[in-house]
C-alpha cells in the first residue's frame, strides 16, 4: 500500500486523500502548450510541477499514465470564439503551412522541457489528431439537447446546462452574476448568449485549417479537445486533471460542463491548479516588456537578466515555492536559487568523504528528515518544506564533516537514498553540467603540455614521460615535433 | 537559378533533371518509421540519405518542405491485410495503451535521428491524426468505382484499376504474372482478389485502435496514409517522394494507384528509393541474430560488434556508398569508416595551421575540387564521389602542410568553405565529440593538482600560484587545506 497522499482539490477547495480509481494506478491529464510561439516562463512552472508530481506518484509505487496534450488547432484569440485561429494567423504571416509552425514550436517546447529535466508524458495527443473523436462528442452533446447548431457552427448552451447542473462549480462563478456584468454581444457572432462556447466553428473560406463535419467544413472549439482526449486515454472517469490557474475559467469550467453532459458528474476526481508566475511583481505580458522565453533565460539574453541561468536553477527556483502559491520571478531571486542548489548538491560530495564506521549507532536525525520530506511531498506536494528538510540534511552533513566525526553506515545509506530518490528522483535536481566541456578540456591539456615543456627544459625526462603516459591513460595522445607538441584524442 | 540537379526517377528508371513544380521550392515526402520497435540500422540509411538530400536542396537555394510521416496505426503484419495491427498487438502484450508505445518509440526514433545529426522534417504527420482525411479519400475512391465495400471493410479493386491504368508501373511488375504465381486465398479474407488491398478494415471487437466510419468501426489500411498526408501537406501534385526499396512494392505501388484515382496520373513527379543495408552480406532479420538497433550500435552492446560506434561514424559509413547501391555493414567496415572520418576532419585542423600569404596566386586545384564535389552531389546525390574529392582536398592540405608552404587567402577560403558548406552543411559530418567530457576533465585537473603539489614540495611557490591562477581563469577554483587540495567549478 502506498503512503497516503493528499491533494488539494480545486473542486472541493479542500485537501483530500488521493484514492485512485484503480488501486496502484494513477491517471493524470495535464493541459499542455499551444504551439504557436516559443516556450516561456509560463510553460516552465506547470512543466516542472506536474513532472515532480508524476515522479512522486511513481516513487510511491503507482503505475502512472500521464497524458499531456499539444494544442495544434482551435485555440481562439483572447479565449473568445471570435477571431481566427492563432496558429492559422501566424501561418499566413510567415507564408508557411500551419503544421510547419506546429512542428517547429513543438520541437522547441520538447527541447526546453528536456533541459528542465522533465520526463516526457506517457501520451502526448494532438488536437488535430482527434477530429473524428471531437465530432463524435459534439454529436453526443447535440443529442442531449445541451448544444445547438446555427449557420454551420455548434455552440454549447450554457444557460440550459446551468438549469440542470451548475455552470461555475469549479471556478466558483455564478452564471447570473457573470451575465449581469457582461455587455451584450455586438452581433458579430451567432451565439444565443455570450457565455455559450463553440464546440464547432464553420471555417471562413480563407481559413487554412479545417475539416469536414456534419455541420460544416470547420474546426473544433478549443475546450473540446481536452474532454475528448482525456476520456479517450484515461477513461470516462479518471483520477486527476491538472493545469494552470489561468485555465480554470473558462477552459476547465467548459471542459467540466462537456464532461458532465457526456460522461456524468464527477468525471474528474481531483482537479489540480498551479498558480502563475509574476515577473518583478507584474503579470508577464508581451506589452509589458517582461515576457521571457526559456531560451532567453537559459542564455541570459534579455534586458531583465544579468546572466544565463542553467535550467536546473530554474527548476530549483520553481520548487522553492508551493505550486499553489505565487512565484515572483526576478534576476536576483534566480541568482540566489542557483547558489542554494549548488550548496545542496555539494553537500553530497562532502558526504562521500566522511568516513563510515561500522558498528556505530545510527542517529535518528536523518531518518526523521527523510520522514519529514515524504510527509511534506505527500501533503499536497509541499516542495518548499521538503527542500527545507533537504537543506537541514545538507547542514548536518557539513557539520559532521567539519567536526571530523565518522558516521554510521545506516546514516550514510539514508543520506544517499535521500539524494538518490528525493533530490534526484522526485525533485529531478542534478548537477548543473555545462553542455560542452571541450574548451575546458583543451585549456587543461594546453596547461599540462606547458608544464611538461617546463620539465623538459629542466631536463626532467622521466617527469616528461610520466606526463605523456598519464595523458595517454586518459585517452589523450601527444606528438612531439620541432615545432612543439600536438595532441589528439 | 540553382545549379542543375539530377535525380534518378524510379518511375522512368532514368536520371532526370529536377524541375520543381514551383520555382525555388521543393516538396519532399518520405515514408517514416512505424513506431512499434526500437530504431535500427534499417532506419539509419533513409534517415541520413534524405537528410543529405534536403540539406543539398537548401544549399542550392531551394525552400524545402520536407514531410516525413509517423505510422502509428494500420501497419498490418507481413504487409498482408490479415493479422492484427502490429502496434495493437504489442499494446496488449505489455498491457499498455497503444499510444503509450507510440510515444515511447517515437521519442527513441527522434533521439537516434538527432544523434545521427539529421534535421527534423518540416512536418511530421501521424496516421492516427488523419483519420478524417483518410475516410474522405476512401469515399472518393469508392465514388470512382475503384473500390468496393464488403462486410464493413473497403478494398481497392486492383484488377479494375489495372484495366484503366497500369498497376505495377512503378515496380515494373505485371499483375497477370503476379496472379499466376500466387496461390488463391484461403478464405480468411473478404477480398475478391489477393492483390486487392485494404483501404478500411472493420475492427474485431478486441481491437483497441479503431474509429467510426461510414462502413464500420475500424481502421485505415496502411497504404492510404501516405497518399492522404502527402497531398494534404504538399498538394495534389508534388515534387519528390522518397523511401526505402523495401517500400517500392506493394506500398508505393498501392500509393500510386490511390493517387492516380483521386489526383490523376503523375501526382508524384520524382520517385526516389534508397537501397537497403545488409549485414555481413545477409539481409537483416531478427531470426538471423543480426538485427542491430541503433542504441546497440552507438553503445557497442551486440555480439557482432567489437566496440561502440559514434553516430558520426555511422553517418559517414552510410554516405560512403551511393544511396541506390548496396551497403554491407560489418564491424570492420565501420572501424575503417571511423578512421576515414577522423582523417578527413583532422585535415581541417591542419589547414588552420598553414600560414596564409597575401598576394600569393590562388591555385586552381581547390576550386576544381569544389566544382567536382557539387557536380557529384547534383548527379543523383553521388556522395561517394563527393567524399573522394573531399579526401583529395584533405590530402592536398596535408601535403601543403608537410611541404611547409604558405597558401593564398583564396585557397584557404575555398577549403574552409568546402568544410563549412559541404562536409558540415550538406553531408552533416562533424567532430565525434564524446557525450560527456566530465571524467576527462576530472582526470586532467587531478593531474595538474599533482604537478602543483610537486612544485610546492620543491618550494616553487610562484609556480604553484601560477597554476592556481591559470585554473581559476579556466573556471576551476581550488582550495588548499591540510588534507590536500579540493577543487570545484
What is the CATH number for B247? 3.40.50.620
- Model pLDDT for residues B22-57, shown as the tens digit of each residue: 899 999 999 999 998 899 999 999 999 999 999 999
Dig out the grid coordinates for B51 from the structure. 537528410
Sign of CA dihedral A46, A48, A54, A60: negative
**Distance (Å) from the C-alpha of residue B185 to the closest C-alpha of chain A?**
34
Positions of chain B with pLDDT lower than 50, given as ranges: 75-82, 92-93
Subunit contact B120:A103, Cβ cutoff 8 A: yes
B124 to A103: CB separation less than 8 angstroms, yes or no: yes
Selected residue of A103, A231, A446, A454 to mutate for chain B interface (largest B Cβ count, 10 A): A103
Nearest to B97 among A129, A211, A233 (CB): A233
pLDDT band at A75 (very low <50, low <70, confident <90, very high): very low
Collect all residues of chain A within an 8 Å Cβ-Cβ radius of residue B445.
444
| Residue B301's CATH number | 1.10.730
Helix and strand totals (H; E) in chain B: 16, 15
pLDDT value at residue B115: 95
Task: Read off the pLDDT of residues A200-248 as tens digits, 9 standing for 90 and up.
Answer: 999 887 778 899 999 999 999 989 999 999 999 999 999 999 999 999 9
**Where is the domain boundary, B274, B300, B316?**
B274
Q: Is the pLDDT of residue A80 over 80?
A: no
Average confidence (pLDDT) over A109-121: 97
Indicate the residue of A346, A448, A488 with minimum beta-carbon distance to B444: A448
Asked if the structure places residue B258 within a domain, the reply is yes
Same domain, B381 and B457: no
Residue A347 and residue A265 share a domain: no
pTM of the predicted structure, to 2 decimals: 0.87
Distance, in Å, from the CA atom of B115 to the CA atom of A223, rounded to the nearest integer, reads: 37
Domain presence at residue A433: no
Q: What is the mean pLDDT of residues A420-438?
A: 84
Q: Say how far apart CA A296 and CA B91 lie, in whole Å.
A: 40
Indicate if B456 and B348 belong to the same structural domain.
no
Q: Is A104 in the same domain as A241?
A: yes
Contact A65 B100 (CB under 8 A): yes
In this complex, which of A100, A436, A441 lies closest to B444 when CB atoms are compared?
Answer: A441
Nearest to A123 among B99, B133, B136 (CB): B99
Nearest Cα residue in chain A from B451: A451
Q: What is the pLDDT of residue A325?
A: 97
* Complex confidence, ipTM: 0.85
B320 occurs within a structural domain? yes
The average confidence (pLDDT) of chain A is 90
Among B126, B346, B433, whose Cβ lies nearest the Cβ of A129? B126
Domain assignment present for residue A171? The answer is yes
- Rounded distance between C-alpha atoms, residue A346 and residue A352, angstroms: 10
Query: Does a structural domain hold residue A269?
Result: yes
Query: Does the pLDDT at position A489 exceed 90?
Result: no
Please state the φ and ψ torsions of residue A69, each to the nearest 5 degrees.
-90, 165
Given a cut of 60, whether residue A109 has pLDDT beyond it is yes
**Nine cell digits for residue A438:** 571541450
Nearest Cβ partner for A120 among B107, B130, B445: B107
Mutation target vs B (from A69, A99, A353; most B CBs, 10 A cutoff)? A99
* Residue in B123, B133, B135 closest to A100 by CB: B123
- Residues B369, B457, single domain; the answer is no
Total domains in chain A come to 3
Q: What residues in A contact B136, CB-CB < 8 Å?
A: 212
Is A187 found in the same domain as A84? yes
* Residue numbers of the domain that contains B465: 438-488
Indicate whether A29 belongs to any domain.
Answer: yes
Residues of A in contact with B475 (CB under 8 A): 440
Distance CA A432, CA A383 (A): 20
Q: What integer best gives the mean pLDDT of chain B?
A: 90
Residue A436, min C-alpha distance to chain B (Å)? 8
Long-range Cβ pairs for the range A14-17 (8 Å, 24+):
A15/A379, A15/A380, A16/A270
pLDDT of residue A261: 97
Whether the CA torsion A280, A282, A285, A289 is positive or negative: it is negative
pLDDT (tens digit, 9 = 90+) per residue, A81-106?
Answer: 445 566 665 554 455 688 999 999 99
Question: CA nearest B399: which of B345, B347, B343, B336?
Answer: B347
Inter-chain touch B212–A136, beta carbons under 8 Å: yes
Q: Do A290 and A250 lie in a common domain?
A: no
Q: Do A467 and B488 touch (CB under 8 A)?
A: no
User: Can you give the pLDDT at residue B84?
Assistant: 54
pLDDT of residue B85: 61
3-state helix, strand, coil in chain A (%, to 5): 50, 15, 35
Which of A98, A100, A353, A447 has the most B C-beta neighbours within 10 Å, making it the best mutation to test the interface with B?
Answer: A447
> Do A442 and A415 fall into the same domain?
no
Mean pLDDT over residues A250-254, rounded?
96
Please choose, from the candidates B292, B243, B231, the residue with its C-alpha nearest in 3D space to the C-alpha of residue B267.
B231
Last residue of one domain, picked from the residues B246, B274, B302: B274
Distance (Å) of CA A141 to CA A125, A222, A227, A252, B77: 22, 15, 12, 17, 38
Q: Which of A72, A91, A100 to mutate to test the interface with B (most CBs of B within 10 A)?
A: A100
Residue B9 CB contacts under 8 Å (≥ 6 apart), including other chains: B15, B16, B269, B270, B271, B272
Please tell me whether residues B261 and B285 are part of one structural domain: no
Query: Which class for A211: exposed (0-12), middle (13-18), buried (19 or more C-beta within 10 A)?
Result: buried
- Same domain, yes or no, for B235 and B298? no
B76 inside domain: yes
Interchain CB distance below 8 Å, A440 and B474: yes
Based on the fold, state whether residues A89 and A157 are members of the same structural domain.
yes
pLDDT of res. B443? 85
CB A268 within 8 A of CB A259: yes
Same-domain pairing of A195 and A50: yes
The candidate with the shortest Cα–Cα distance to B159, out of B150, B169, B147, B149, is B147
Contact A64, A54 (CB under 8 A): yes
CB A437, CB B438: distance < 8 Å: yes
Section A307-315 average pLDDT: 95
A321 occurs within a structural domain: yes
Which residues on chain A are in Cβ contact (under 8 Å) with B401? none
Which of B274, B307, B339 represents a domain boundary (last residue)? B274
Chain B: residue whose CA lies nearest to A217: B132
Residues in B touching A212 (Cβ below 8 Å): 132, 136
Amino acid at each position: 500500500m502506498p503512503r497516503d497522499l493528499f491533494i488539494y482539490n480545486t473542486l472541493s477547495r479542500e485537501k483530500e486523500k488521493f484514492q485512485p480509481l484503480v488501486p496502484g494506478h494513477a491517471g493524470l491529464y495535464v493541459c499542455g502548450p499551444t504551439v504557436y510561439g516559443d516556450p516561456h516562463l509560463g510553460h516552465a512552472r506547470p512543466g516542472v510541477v506536474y513532472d515532480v508530481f508524476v515522479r512522486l506518484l511513481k516513487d510511491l509505487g503507482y503505475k502512472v499514465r500521464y497524458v499531456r496534450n499539444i494544442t495544434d488547432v482551435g485555440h481562439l484569440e483572447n479565449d473568445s470564439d471570435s477571431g481566427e485561429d492563432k496558429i492559422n494567423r501566424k501561418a499566413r504571416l510567415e507564408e508557411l503551412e500551419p503544421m510547419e509552425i506546429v512542428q517547429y514550436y513543438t520541437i522547441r517546447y520538447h527541447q526546453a522541457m528536456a533541459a528542465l529535466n522533465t520526463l516526457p508524458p506517457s501520451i502526448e495527443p494532438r488536437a488535430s489528431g482527434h477530429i473524428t473523436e471531437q465530432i463524435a462528442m459534439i454529436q453526443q452533446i447535440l443529442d442531449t439537447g445541451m448544444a445547438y447548431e446555427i449557420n454551420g457552427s455548434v455552440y454549447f448552451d450554457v444557460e440550459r446546462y446551468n438549469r440542470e447542473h451548475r455552470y461555475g462549480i469549479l471556478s466558483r462563478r455564478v452564471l447570473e452574476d457573470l451575465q449581469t456584468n457582461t455587455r451584450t454581444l455586438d452581433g458579430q457572432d451567432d451565439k444565443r448568449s455570450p457565455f455559450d462556447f463553440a464546440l464547432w466553428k464553420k471555417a471562413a473560406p480563407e481559413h487554412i485549417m479545417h475539416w469536414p463535419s456534419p455541420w460544416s467544413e470547420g474546426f473544433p472549439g478549443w475546450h473540446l479537445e481536452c474532454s475528448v482526449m482525456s476520456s479517450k486515454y484515461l477513461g470516462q472517469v479518471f483520477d486527476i486533471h491538472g493545469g494552470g490557474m489561468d485555465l480554470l475559467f473558462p477552459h476547465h469550467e467548459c471542459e467540466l460542463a462537456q464532461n458532465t453532459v457526456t460522461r456524468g458528474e464527477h468525471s474528474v476526481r481531483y482537479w489540480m491548479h498551479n498558480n502563475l508566475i509574476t515577473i518583478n511583481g507584474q503579470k508577464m505580458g508581451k506589452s509589458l516588456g517582461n515576457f521571457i522565453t526559456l531560451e532567453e533565460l537559459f542564455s541570459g539574453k534579455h534586458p531583465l537578466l544579468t546572466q544565463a541561468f542553467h535550467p536546473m536553477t530554474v527548476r530549483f527556483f520553481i520548487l522553492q515555492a508551493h505550486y499553489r502559491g505565487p512565484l515572483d520571478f526576478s534576476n536576483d531571486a534566480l541568482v540566489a536559487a542557483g547558489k542554494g542548489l549548488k550548496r545542496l548538491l555539494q553537500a553530497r560530495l562532502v558526504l562521500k568523504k566522511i568516513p563510515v564506521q561500522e558498528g556505530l549507532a545510527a542517529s535518528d536525525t536523518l531518518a526523521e528528515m527523510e520522514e519529514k520530506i515524504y510527509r511534506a511531498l505527500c501533503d499536497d506536494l509541499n516542495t518548499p518544506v521538503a527542500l527545507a528538510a533537504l537543506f537541514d540534511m545538507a547542514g548536518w552533513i557539513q557539520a559532521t564533516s567539519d567536526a571530523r566525526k565518522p558516521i554510521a553506515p545506516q546514516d550514510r545509506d539514508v543520506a544517499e537514498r535521500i539524494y538518490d530518490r528525493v533530490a534526484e528522483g522526485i525533485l529531478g535536481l542534478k548537477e548543473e553540467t555545462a553542455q560542452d566541456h571541450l574548451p575546458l578540456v583543451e585549456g587543461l591539456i594546453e596547461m599540462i603540455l606547458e608544464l611538461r615543456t617546463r620539465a623538459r627544459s629542466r631536463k626532467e625526462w622521466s617527469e616528461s614521460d610520466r606526463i605523456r603516459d598519464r595523458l595517454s591513460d586518459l585517452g589523450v595522445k601527444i606528438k612531439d615535433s620541432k615545432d612543439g607538441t600536438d595532441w589528439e584524442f
